[in-house]
């Protein structure tokens, strides 16, 4: 079917929110490259980068208001709230090993999957009145979003910097314990101390990376991503057969196969 103008607007708004979050993320992380190019903060400085991100968000808000649907406004503003909450979660860490993975998955949902889940829900609301379809769309987006970030965290250890478009082991250098690190920690308990000090001592990043590659952390994280993709496929398969449904199923496979 034809995509409605309002549905296309949701896609544009989602991209704008995403772009603004990347510009702000690069300021927080003091990153100097993104997708193989210099970051906004590297070219124009932190102040202008923060304002640039704010400007993109304000433009997205104007576009959102123009849709004129209060339900859609509520769904998509939830994404912005989740992004901020996710950033705060990333700044913290859990001492309890059992809580760490739940903390990591909650942060992953808020920083990455919420955008995809709520964008999918928004376009389904505009295209269909059935709340069951809205929930299917939301769950599909949530599962594929978490899987996407899990693969991203794997690529931080397995892809080369040129392919990835940013330095490898970037998360470790930022003090972040992602899926591969948390799984590796089960085999190498000495990593616990490094996680708690956010890999801040000289040699921590190199040692942690070595432990991850010696463990099955990468394989376990990839397996977890596969489970989330299978869940996304199960959700979208509840809809009646169509070329669009098949494309969404293929998208789950592309998420798992990507190398950059």
Please provide the average confidence, as pLDDT, over all residues in the chain: 94
Give pTM, 2 decimals: 0.94
Compute the distance between CA of residue 185 and CA of residue 192 in angstroms, rounded to an integer: 7
Compute the distance between CA of residue 166 and CA of residue 250 in angstroms, rounded to an integer: 27
SS3 letters for 177-246? Answer: CCHHHHHHHHHCCCHHHHHHCCCCCCCHHHHHHHHHHHCCHHHHHHHHHHHHHHHHHHHHCCCCCCHHHH
Could you tell me which residue, 228 or 167, shows the higher pLDDT? 228
Provide the pLDDT for residue 168.
Answer: 76
- Residue 121 reports pLDDT greater than 90: yes
pLDDT digit string (tens) for 144-161?
999 999 999 999 999 876
Provide the pLDDT for residue 1.
Answer: 63
- Position 101 in a domain: yes
Domain boundary among 68, 100, 127: 68
- Position 64 in a domain: yes
Q: Which of 87, 136, 93 is nearest to 112 (CA)?
A: 87
pLDDT digit string (tens) for 54-70?
999 999 999 999 999 99
The region of weakest confidence among 30-34, 90-94, 202-206, 222-226 is: 90-94
Both 97 and 221 in one domain: the answer is yes
Quote the domain boundaries for residue 223.
Answer: 78-257
Across the range 67-76, mean pLDDT stands at 97
Both 84 and 30 in one domain: the answer is no
Both 241 and 113 in one domain: the answer is yes
Provide the pLDDT for residue 74.
Answer: 97
Both 135 and 162 in one domain: the answer is yes
Both 239 and 111 in one domain: the answer is yes
- Position 28 in a domain: yes
- Residue 165 reports pLDDT greater than 90: no
- Position 124 in a domain: yes
Both 141 and 112 in one domain: the answer is yes
Both 197 and 107 in one domain: the answer is yes
Both 21 and 46 in one domain: the answer is yes
- Position 84 in a domain: yes
Both 55 and 107 in one domain: the answer is no
- Residue 206 reports pLDDT greater than 90: yes
Both 92 and 220 in one domain: the answer is yes
- Position 73 in a domain: no
- Position 187 in a domain: yes
pLDDT band at 231 (very low <50, low <70, confident <90, very high): very high
Taken in order 158, 86, 64, 142, the sign of the CA dihedral is: positive
User: What is the number of structural domains in the chain?
Assistant: 2
- Position 203 in a domain: yes
Provide the pLDDT for residue 245.
Answer: 97
Distance from CA of residue 70 to its chain's centroid? 26
Provide the pLDDT for residue 235.
Answer: 98
Angle ∠(25,256,214) on CA atoms, nearest 5: 80
What would the two tokens of residue 138 be? 């939301």
Domain boundary among 19, 39, 68: 68
Across the range 186-208, mean pLDDT stands at 94
| Rounded-to-10 torsion of CA 223, 225, 229, 235 | 100
Residue 110's CATH number: 1.10.600.10
Both 48 and 112 in one domain: the answer is no
Domain boundary among 15, 44, 68: 68
For the chain, percent of residues with pLDDT exceeding 70: 98
What would the two tokens of residue 58 be? 């304000």
- Residue 177 reports pLDDT greater than 90: yes
Both 11 and 116 in one domain: the answer is no
Provide the pLDDT for residue 161.
Answer: 66
């Amino acid at each position: 079917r034809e995509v409605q103008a309002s549905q296309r607007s949701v896609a544009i708004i989602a991209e704008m929110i995403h772009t603004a979050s990347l510009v702000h993320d690069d300021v927080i992380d003091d990153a100097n490259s993104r997708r193989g190019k210099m970051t906004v903060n590297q070219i124009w400085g932190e102040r202008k980068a923060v304002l640039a991100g704010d400007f993109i968000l304000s433009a997205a808000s104007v576009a959102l208001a123009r849709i004129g649907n209060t339900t859609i406004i509520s769904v998509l503003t939830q994404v912005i709230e989740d992004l901020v909450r996710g950033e705060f979660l990333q700044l913290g860490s859990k001492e309890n090993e059992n809580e760490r993975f739940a903390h990591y998955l909650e942060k992953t949902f808020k920083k990455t999957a919420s955008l995809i889940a709520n964008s999918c829900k928004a376009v389904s609301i505009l295209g269909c009145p059935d709340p069951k379809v809205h929930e299917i769309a939301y769950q599909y987006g949530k599962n594929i979003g978490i899987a996407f970030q899990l693969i991203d965290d794997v690529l931080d250890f397995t892809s080369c910097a040129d392919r990835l478009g940013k330095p490898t082991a970037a998360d470790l250098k930022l003090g972040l314990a992602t899926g591969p690190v948390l799984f590796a920690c089960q085999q190498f308990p000495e990593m616990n101390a490094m996680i708690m000090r956010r890999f801040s001592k000289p040699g921590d990043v190199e040692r942690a990376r070595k432990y991850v590659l010696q463990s099955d952390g990468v394989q376990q994280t990839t397996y977890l991503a596969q489970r989330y993709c299978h869940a996304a496929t199960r959700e979208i398969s509840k809809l009646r057969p169509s070329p669009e449904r098949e494309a969404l199923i293929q998208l789950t496979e592309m998420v798992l196969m990507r190398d950059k």
